[in-house]
Structure 1
Amino acid sequence: MSCWRGLGRTHAGRRSANEDALVCRDGEGLWAVIDGMGGHDAGDLAATMIRHALENLALGGGIAHRLLAVDAALQSANHAIRHHAAMHLGSKPMGATVVVLLIHDGEAGVLWAGDARLYRHDPSRTSAITKDHTPVQALVDAGELNEEEAMCHPRSHVIYQAIGNGDKLKLEQIRFAVEAGQQFLLTTDGVHSVLRLPEIHQLLVEGASESAILKAALNAGSRDNVTAIKIAFG
């Protein structure tokens, strides 16, 4: 059994429909946030299909085996979403970004596609573990943009990897050790598109709940659905 516990919340924000979804499986050490794309009846369905795939996934073995299992589940979801779009939506764009955190036996693994993010918080600092699959992130990596410029960039919402985005899904993954004093935060871009890293760090230092983090994003002007999961030991 995992001793890590996650508390998550999703909210439509200022939009009429919520295309975000989340998964909290504390007992198995799996948490995920999902951001559907394609509008109502497409994005929300894609997010739901991915949520169901992750909720019904059998997990066992070490972290490497669990990463393989999540990868396989998301590959299957990718095919199912592509098939649904072709059969029922005239191949209208339908998909979702996703980030999945696994913790087992002192080790963590994260898989993601798109711009949903994982942050790691220590008492002294907060850092983003994932890097967005976006052209703007490539400019940040090249030193051509800073964080604030990236958030304001006109192509900040363009992504090049997502579940349902192509026949071949490429998921990025990282493994790392975890310590009991750390916390983790999963967010969809409705949160981190308006909250800079120092602001997220301050919220975590202050012990803000997942609901308070969503409220901060909406107060900062987010026009998107907002979703966050906080994971801590104990």
Structure 2
Amino acid sequence: MNRNAWTSVAKTHVGNVRKINEDSYLNAPEAGLWCVADGMGGHQKGDTASTMIIDYLQSLLSVQGYPISTGQVEERLTLVNHNLINLAQSLPQSNVIGSTVAVMLFADNLVHCLWAGDSRIYRLRNGQLSQLTRDHSQVEEMVQAGLLTSEEAAVHPAANIITRAIGASPELELDLQSFERFPGDRYLLCTDGLNKVMTDPEIAEQMRQGELASLADHMMQTALQRHARDNITLVMVDVTEGMPELEQTGRLKDTLPLDDTLPLHR
């Protein structure tokens, strides 16, 4: 793997209201592995849950270099799920200790997305934004059933209720989607503290701008200026290897595929 094939940057902030940051992230470009996790607000030890996810994934780096497999990630997350359930049951008041998770892996010419909950993975390709994950939430189920529009879901009273999480159920259920990866792709992993205060068109517009470090700073500042009530975490990745020559207009040559809207497998 060419170590210059991609670059990445990560940022997290407690937000404007909360006193504890229950978000965690992993930024490991050397292994082609990135993750965001959002400890479940209102539950005990949400920061413990998200930190445990990152620690268990981090442990892969000491025994496995690039590429890490989806099976290895699923194994680690299953262990975290088991441990969080045991921890919750050991407490005087048995409550859920849980966290969302969104993991992105690069392997060969593929990108793998694994997730549970409503943390998201986006891709910008040729200026077009795609959400590669689908929220595991009550309102998303209502949107899929045609009962709500996306705009109505954003302000619905049940908008914060998720239907899957690490630590929420003895049997962990993760979604997995795999896509082809192309030079020029830009990816964003984020907890819902970001997308609660920025619409997808706004995220797309900002992702079209500049280099990663300044872009990540600008997106974080935008969220904070909008008085984000939740913790905010974002990880951004640029794929640079084999970047096609730019036309004089600065646009990518038309030989770069516009999109692979269908995942390779589910």
- What secondary structure sits across from 1:56 in the alignment? helix
Residue 91 (structure 1) shift = 1.8
Deviation at 1:62, TM superposition (A): 6.0
Q: Does 1:175 align with 2:181?
A: no
Look up the match of 2:136: 133
Give the structure-1-normalised TM-score.
0.93
- Structure with the greater alpha carbon radius of gyration: 2
Distance in 1, matches of 2:66 and 2:233, equals: 29
Q: Any idea what SS the aligned residue of 2:193 has?
A: helix
In the TM superposition, 1:142-221 aligns within 5 A as 142-207=145-210, 209-221=215-227
Q: Is the 8 A contact 1:161 1:170 kept in 2?
A: yes
Q: How much is the aligned-residue C-alpha RMSD, in angstroms?
A: 1.8
Preserved contact between residue 19 and residue 40 of structure 1 (Cα < 8 Å): no
Task: Using the TM superposition, give the Cα deviation of residue 220 of structure 1 relative to its aligned residue in structure 2, in angstroms.
Answer: 2.5
Write the distance in 2 (CA, Å) between the matches of 1:90 and 1:48.
21
Q: What is the SS of the residue equivalent to 2:238?
A: strand
Q: Give the TM-score, by structure 2 length.
A: 0.82
Structure-1 separation of matches of 2:54 and 2:93: 23
Measured at CA, do residues 70 and 89 of structure 1 come closer, stay the same or move farther in structure 2, by a change above 3 Å?
farther
CA distance in 2, matches of 1:218, 1:10: 11
- Given the superposition, is the C-alpha separation of residues 41 and 70 from structure 1 closer, same or farther in structure 2, using an over 3 Å criterion? same
Which deviations, in whole Å up to 9, do the C-alpha atoms of 1:59-113 show, x marking residues without a partner?
Answer: 46867xx001000000000011111111135322211000000012111101000
Q: Structure 2 matches for 1:89-100, cutoff 5 A?
A: 90-100=93-103
Structure 1, 177-186 or 54-63: larger mean CA deviation: 54-63
The amino acid that maps onto 1:211 is: D
Residues 218/159 of structure 1: CA separation in 2 closer, same or farther (3 Å cut): same
Cα distance in 2 for partners of 1:51, 1:73 equals 10
Helix, strand or coil at the partner of 1:158: coil
Residue 228 of structure 1 aligns with which residue?
Answer: 234
1:41, distance to aligned residue in structure 2 (A): 6.0
Matched, 1:5 2:7: yes
- Aligned AA for 1:90? Q
Contact 2:39 2:47 in 1 (8 A): yes
- Name the amino acid aligned to 1:122: R
Task: State yes or no: 1:51 paired with 2:59.
Answer: no
Between the aligned partners of 1:137 and 1:59, the Cα distance in structure 2 is 36
Which amino acid counterpart does residue 94 of structure 1 have in structure 2?
A: I
SS of match in other structure, 1:108: strand
**Cα distance per residue 1:137-157 (max 9 Å; x no partner):** 112223333332211111010
Distance 2:198 2:52 in 1: 28
Query: For this pair of structures, how many residues does the alignment match?
Result: 232
After superposition, the C-alpha distances for 1:5-32 in whole angstroms (9 at most, x for unaligned) are 2200111012111000000111110000
Q: How does 1:61-100 map to 2 (within 5 A)?
A: 66-88=69-91, 90-100=93-103
Quote the offset at 1:193 in angstroms: 1.4
Could you list the runs of 5+ residues in structure 2 that have no partner in the other structure? 241-266
Among the aligned pairs, what percent are the same residue? 38
| C-alpha distance in 1 between matches for 2:41 and 2:94 | 11
Secondary structure at the counterpart of residue 148 of structure 1: helix
Structure 1 residue runs of 5 or longer lacking an equivalent are: none
Question: Could you tell me how far 1:39 is from its partner in structure 2?
Answer: 4.8
